[in-house]
Structure 1
Amino acid sequence: MTTRRRAPGRGGRLRAAVGFLLWFTGEFLRANAVVLREVLTPGHGIDPAVVRVRLRSRSMVEIASIMSLLSLTPGTLALNLTTGARSPELLVHGMHASDPEQLRASVHEMEDRLLAFLRRPTPGVVDRDPEETP
């Protein structure tokens, strides 16, 4: 079982929100630099892939937020969402995805950080990684 980030105590969601915004700004700037380098020196790093990522997001606000943030980040694009009996699955295109597991891990990191401030922490509850079987 993998434990996930939870915003502790009073004001934890605000700290998580500020932390997420700072982290995302850094990731956004880094992704812009990578794409800019590719534009200026074509052919030196593009290794595209489409990866299926099982999400822990439950509400449409959570799902729409992660899809929007992924599509806003240069070099990634949320392509398709599948919902059903299991957790929602998202198809993500990565421009620099030589390692599909690394792309999947980066999507999960973004989702974890996002959910840390979108959700109210429930005492004693540990979220399960959707990639793990119960």
Structure 2
Amino acid sequence: MIKTRFLSNLLLSLIWVAITGNFTAENFFFGFILSFFLLWIISTDRRENKYFNRGPKLIGFIFFFLYELVKANIEVAYDVITPRHYMEPGIVKIPLDAKSDMEITLLANLISLTPGTLSLDVSDDRKVLYVHAMYVKDKKEFIASIKNGFEKRLLDILR
């Protein structure tokens, strides 16, 4: 069902581009958003349809990740340019709610993409992710930020 909705959305976007005669990325993106809302309006099973639920969550996740990325870059850059170092490095054991290989891999890569953190290993039973972080002032707070931030949002999109 998700593939059908997505393909319908793409087809309507291409029709929009053809009708307007403006073959630009911005016009295609506008047509994609417009057709998404049109499909949402004519849909009878909005609550059960994952396509309409995942779109806004994915956009929210992208903005969340960009915010975390900028915040971590500023924190690391500030630590580098100041004479006093504020880092408190540590290796943290994060219990996982993610079960599948794809969920664990995406979570580990998203953590590693953020400056100051690096995913080290996953336990053999795939219930724990080991993360090295430059700024671990409070381990419980760090674990909660990963669990309630990256992992929760990622699992909302994937499940």
TM over 0.5: yes
Which of the numbers 20, 28, 31 marks the counterpart of 2:69?
28
Question: Higher relative contact order by CA 8 Å / sep ≥ 6: 1 or 2?
Answer: 1
Q: Could you say which residue in structure 2 is the equivalent of 1:52?
A: 93
Amino acid at match of 1:104: I
Q: CA RMSD in A?
A: 1.4
Which of the numbers 126, 138, 147 marks the counterpart of 1:99?
138
Q: Return the alpha-carbon distance in structure 1 between the equivalents of residues 83 and 120 of structure 2.
A: 24
Q: Could you say which residue in structure 1 is the equivalent of 2:155?
A: 115
Q: Return the alpha-carbon distance in structure 2 between the equivalents of residues 15 and 82 of structure 1.
A: 33
Q: Return the alpha-carbon distance in structure 1 between the equivalents of residues 131 and 64 of structure 2.
A: 20
Q: Return the alpha-carbon distance in structure 1 between the equivalents of residues 155 and 60 of structure 2.
A: 12
Alignment deviations for residues 57-104 of structure 1 (CA, whole Å, 9 cap, x no partner)? 0110000000000000001111110132xx520111110101111110
Q: Return the alpha-carbon distance in structure 2 between the equivalents of residues 21 and 69 of structure 1.
A: 11
Larger Rg: 2
Give the number of aligned pairs: 110
Q: Return the alpha-carbon distance in structure 2 between the equivalents of residues 42 and 63 of structure 1.
A: 37
Higher share in helix: 2
Give the SS at the match of 1:56.
coil
How far 1:42 moved relative to its partner? 4.2
Amino acid at match of 2:91: V
Q: Under a length normalisation based on structure 2, what TM-score does the superposition of the two structures give?
A: 0.66
How far 1:21 moved relative to its partner? 0.5
Gaps of at least 5 residues in structure 2 are: 1-45
Give the SS at the match of 1:79.
strand
Gaps of at least 5 residues in structure 1 are: 1-7, 120-134
Q: Could you say which residue in structure 2 is the equivalent of 1:73?
A: 114
